[in-house]
Amino acid sequence: MKRALSVQLSVLTILLTTLLTGCASQITYEEHTDAGSKYILANNITIIVKENPDAGLAAIDVLIRRSLAADGDLPGLGHFTTRLLLAGTEKRSRQDILSEIESLGGTIKARTFAEYTEILIDIPSNHIDTAIDILSDVLIHSTFPPEEIEKERTLILSEIASKNDQPAVTVEELFMKTMFEGHPYQHPIDGYAETVSRISRDDIVNHYRTWYVPNLIVIGAAGNVRKDTLIPTLGNALNKMQPRPTPPEVIPAPPRTEPKTSTRHMDLESFYLQQGYQLPPATHPDFIKLRLANAVLGSGSGSRLFYELRDKRALAYSVYSIAPSVRSGGFLKIAMISRPAVINDSLAGITEQIERIKTEQASEDEIAIVKQKIRGFFFLDHQKTTDQANYLALYESVGLGYHYDVEYPERLSAVTAEEMQDAAQRYLVNPQLAIVGPFEEATIS
């Protein structure tokens, strides 16, 4: 009995040693910091791991660095391809993929953004191996069945048509068209009815083969995962993927050198408007200063825009601002919903607050309060395991590095009111404005 147990343990040791040795041969780089551990496999897939043994779930977030520029003359191609990633592989149908994950208490999503495609899996940690098997199957063996393509085409065309009844979506797309005229980001992520209608299966397969390559993949993993077993499992599952040269991932956005306004009439009771300013990419030293300016302007109910235009003057039903972290085409955007009777006052109010942040240095008390608020939002945004995995992958793919996830609060704390004002003066110029609403009820001055 003891000899049998000894033999079993020896076999297990050999298998484990083989697995770890095989994995070691696949790793070309690794580092370990407070933010997590980074590994680069031989095929150039980057993996970031943040262990949390107290979590019950494990999350794997895969980002493929392909932007809207990859759609070429077929806007919506990347989105169409993403929608079909879970439609079937060589050994699994769409129903197999979804039911296998759901039967284990997990979820799987595939989504398209302007600068990347995401595959996100959230699952009880004891089923992480199954999740990785499904993930590798989708990344390597998706088949894009013709019947699934036509089903998805019908759904996408229906969703595009429904935008005519969605002013928030309409103004968002009009804003992007205005902000990025002459750049691929001017197009809707899901494309146009005309382009979606003529996308062929060959277009989809070629897009998949061109862009779903290991040198463009960053994987964030967080929760109850162990890097000493996760990395070998991922490495063995994805080692068949071979790196290939790809076209440029992003194209620099053309500078906005003068103000511009775009309008569209819709039979509504309110005006929807978005006004933006061109910012540098997230890797630029000025970007963190402008993130602070964004928080002062329109982050939360205590921000200047919310207090001055909504609470104090009742000019807006809602108002906020955002400044997303991107690799190219950065912007700060103010979004507002306002009544026709006060639309011009609302626009003037936005201008007043932009000029104020450029001409009046914020007080130390205001800056301290805003920084504390951002720190609070930062920690709230990291409550979910899926968010933790996403931030690791996102910061790495943007070019800031995964360690930025723990550095961000301190970097923000180091920005002074003077630095914020200086950055606002240089970047918050030449506003790009999009307005949707009942133009027969008001004249925009």
**Residuewise pLDDT in 10s, the chain (445 residues):** 433 433 343 434 434 444 444 455 589 999 999 999 999 999 999 999 999 999 999 999 999 999 999 999 999 999 999 999 999 999 999 999 999 999 999 999 999 999 999 999 999 999 999 999 999 999 999 999 999 999 999 999 999 999 999 999 999 999 999 999 999 999 999 999 999 999 999 999 999 999 999 999 999 999 999 999 999 999 999 999 999 998 877 788 899 999 999 999 999 999 999 999 999 999 999 999 999 999 999 999 999 999 999 999 999 999 999 999 999 879 999 999 999 999 999 999 999 999 999 999 999 999 999 999 999 999 999 999 999 999 999 999 999 999 999 999 999 999 999 999 999 999 999 999 999 999 999 889 8
- Listed in order, the ranges of the chain carrying CATH 3.30.830.10 are 29-238, 260-437
- Report the side by side order of strands in the sheet with 271-279: 260-265, 432-437, 271-279, 330-338, 318-322
β-strands 217-223, 57-64: how paired? antiparallel
- For 260-437, CATH gives 3.30.830.10
Cα–Cα distances (Å) from 329 to 176, 178, 278, 319, 321, in that order, read: 10, 13, 7, 22, 16
Q: Which of 297, 401, 436, 284 is closest to 353 using CA atoms?
A: 297
Whole-angstrom Cα distance, residue 84 to residue 101?
A: 17
Using DSSP bridges, classify how beta strands 318-322 and 330-338 pair: parallel, antiparallel or unpaired: antiparallel
Burial category of 21 from C-beta neighbours within 10 Å (exposed 0-12, middle 13-18, buried 19 and up): exposed
Q: SS3 of 125, please? A: helix
Sheet holding 46-51, edge to edge: 27-33, 36-41, 46-51, 217-223, 57-64, 117-124, 107-112
Please give the structure tokens belonging to residue 445.
Answer: 């001055």
**What is the topology classification, in CATH, of domain 29-238?**
Cytochrome Bc1 Complex; Chain A, domain 1 (3.30.830)
Both tokens of 314, joined, read 């009742």
